[in-house]
Amino acid sequence: MIYNEMQIPDHIIELDKNSPLESKKSEFLLPDDTIYMDGNSLGPTTKSALDEIETTTKAHWRNDLISSWNKHSWITLPQQIGEKIAPLLGAKSSEVIGCDSISVNLFKLLSAALKINHSRNIIVSESGNFPTDLYIAEGLESLLGKTKCSLKTVEKSAIIDSLNTDVAVLMLTHVDFRSGEKLDIRAITKAAHDKGILVLWDLAHSAGALKLDLDHDNVDFAVGCGYKYLNGGPGAPAFVYVAERHIKTIEQPLRGWMGHTSPFDFTPSYKPATDISKMLCGTPSVISMASLNGALDVFQDVDMAVIEQQAHALKQTFLSTLTNEAITDLKLITPTNSQSQGSQLSFTHEYAFELSQALIANKIIVDFRAPNVLRLGFTPLYLEHRHVYLAATILTTLLKHQEYLKPQFRERKAVT
């Protein structure tokens, strides 16, 4: 498809002109001929991230070498990142720190939560949760033994009914990675607290896309990644949130030197920091941290409620552009109620993988999730109504002519 040969309706053009986020588009670097709808897997490059990487490598590292740890505050990058992410979560800067990966941070927090609720041994999670979350809980169960840690998975509809006084921790993902369904953080957290259960939320598909209010919702712990909606780059550091009320007493098991109260005293015994820094472990990856630190500048002057509202508007434009035939051919598995949606739309189709590849061949970058889910992310910081109108039009054409059945769209690579 050649985009400039396709006519954009006047009302779509007006929607873009009136967008409160229109000025943000210039802060991202995307190919001119590409419509990027995969920010829910990997956010695109920001100018500020590249600038920060260049400064860190070509100026700081090259010229100031090891003195950069002090001179350019490399040593406090985890805290700097936490300060920038905290407002996006509805949290205090003292409650958030950038470090490690979601998987590692889940291990830390699950271990710590079990120790706090030491008279209980059950971790409850949803059976359809993102696999790594369940894998980490299974690994902890194997390490500690079922008398101290037992993972119980339930269907989403049974979460509330599964909560009882044997449960130590409830671990859930806010937005389902396949369907895009959003859970009610406040209501579920309260139901768990009423039974004395600690709650750990995975915000991988929420942070940077949805308005969050962790402090107001009385959340205990949360994790999230930096490379999706936060645009920190591939493999960007994750973050940890620990509610203020737990910071003094929480004990995490990965006692690396950066979590020590005085790491450069090199004492033979471990003494944890008394603030959120106790969640650190090893030496921070400075270049990755710098990239995320730069990317987060995009969010400094935006309201997360506006981002969420504009994402919903983009989704409505996309859905209203699809023809009735396309809607019949695809099955929308994302809830239709906007209050229960993340910042994505997911459809099932017998040839979902082939459809994703056909769209990519037409410069509409989407993704596929096994076994049959076509997934599209809607990020209003760089996506416009004209983009999603074109994407829906091209998807309709592909479905109508069954172009996705061509042999070249069947080949699967290591990453899908």
Q: Which of 97, 95, 99 is nearest to 244 (CA)?
A: 95
For tokens 């409850």, name the residue: 124
The residue annotated as part of the active site, out of 36, 227, 229, 404, is 227
Strand ranges inside 136-197, DSSP E: 150-154, 167-173
Please give the Cα distance from 380 to 401 (Å, whole number).
30
248 catalytic residue (yes or no): no
Whether the upstream peptide bond of residue 335 has omega within 30° of 0, thus cis, is no
Residue 233 falls in which region: left (phi positive, over 0), alpha (psi -120 to 50) or beta: left
Who's near 68: CB < 8 A, 6+ residues apart? Answer: 56, 60, 61, 74
Strands 35-36 and 364-365: parallel
404 catalytic residue (yes or no): no
The answer to whether residues 127 and 153 touch, using CB atoms and an 8 Å cutoff, is yes
What is the number of residues in the chain? 416
Q: Which two tokens stand for residue 136?
A: 């980490």
227 catalytic residue (yes or no): yes
Count Cβ atoms below 10 Å from residue 283 Cβ, excluding itself: 13
130 catalytic residue (yes or no): yes
For tokens 């003195």, name the residue: 67
The residue annotated as part of the active site, out of 24, 182, 228, 369, is 228
The residue annotated as part of the active site, out of 47, 115, 130, 186, is 130
The residue annotated as part of the active site, out of 38, 133, 176, 202, is 202
Please give the Cα distance from 253 to 241 (Å, whole number).
16
Query: Read out DSSP for 277-342?
Result: GGG--S---HHHHHHHHHHGGGGTT--HHHHHHHHHHHHHHHHHHS-HHHHHHSEE-S-SSGGGB-
Catalytic residues: 130, 202, 227-228, 375
